[in-house]
Amino acid sequence: MDEGSTYVFDANGLIMGRLASVAAKTLLSAARDGRQDRVIIINSEKAIVSGNPQSIFEDYLSKYRLNHSRKGPFFPRMPDLILKRTVRGMLPYQKKSSGRRAFKALRVEIGCPSHLSGEDLPEGHLQGDTSSLERPLPERYVRLGEISAVLGAPASRWNGGEA
């Protein structure tokens, strides 16, 4: 199979770190084997981060405050970019070319694109295996969209026009 497969993961209700590790493992194994598999993560704003909400907000605000507008380090505010940055942290992005190839094969979306909605996926697209990730929601958690709103991202992008 020369073209490779595209795996679609729905982040709705999944813990962000666990989802990122599965996506990174899928991408890295494909890059090392020479396959051209791709990963698309949809509904990134609905991924969850478990823990005390106040400490989660403080952690992400402290990471964001390290920013300098011209010099960096640049930490994203949008939920799709935060999730993409999390996956990048699990890849050998700076050390190996396979990590760079794997990262280029990743796409993270806010919401669900129209061609990926519903049960029927386009040809060549497979539903990603999230059976090991599906667990009941923890007692204390925060959705990635809420973290982005606290960081100052325009929440109207994923709330359907509501601020």
**For residue 90, how many other CB atoms are within 10 A of its CB?**
19
Report the topology of domain 12-18+47-109+139-163.
Ribosomal Protein L13p; Chain: A; (3.90.1180)
Q: Copy the structure tokens of residue 117.
A: 């909605």
CA atoms of 18 and 21, how far apart (whole Å):
5
DSSP assignment string, 27-79: HHHHHHHT---EEEEE-GGG-EEES-HHHHHHHHHHHHHT--TTT------SH
Distance in angstroms (rounded) separating the CA atoms of residues 57 and 151: 8
pLDDT tens track, the chain, 163 positions: 457 889 999 999 999 999 999 999 999 999 888 889 999 999 999 999 999 999 999 999 998 888 777 887 888 999 999 999 999 999 998 888 889 999 999 999 998 887 777 677 788 788 888 888 888 888 999 999 999 999 988 888 887 656 5
CA-CA distances (angstroms) from residue 86 to 16, 49, 61, 107?
Answer: 8, 12, 16, 13
Geometric angle at alpha carbon 128, from 17 and 20, rounded to 5°: 15
Residue pair 94/106 in contact by the 8 Å Cβ criterion: no
Please state, in angstroms and rounded to a whole number, the distance separating the CA atoms of residues 86 and 82: 6
Distance of alpha carbon 127 from alpha carbon 41, whole angstroms = 10
Q: Is 104 exposed, middle or buried (0-12, 13-18, 19+ CB in 10 A)?
A: exposed
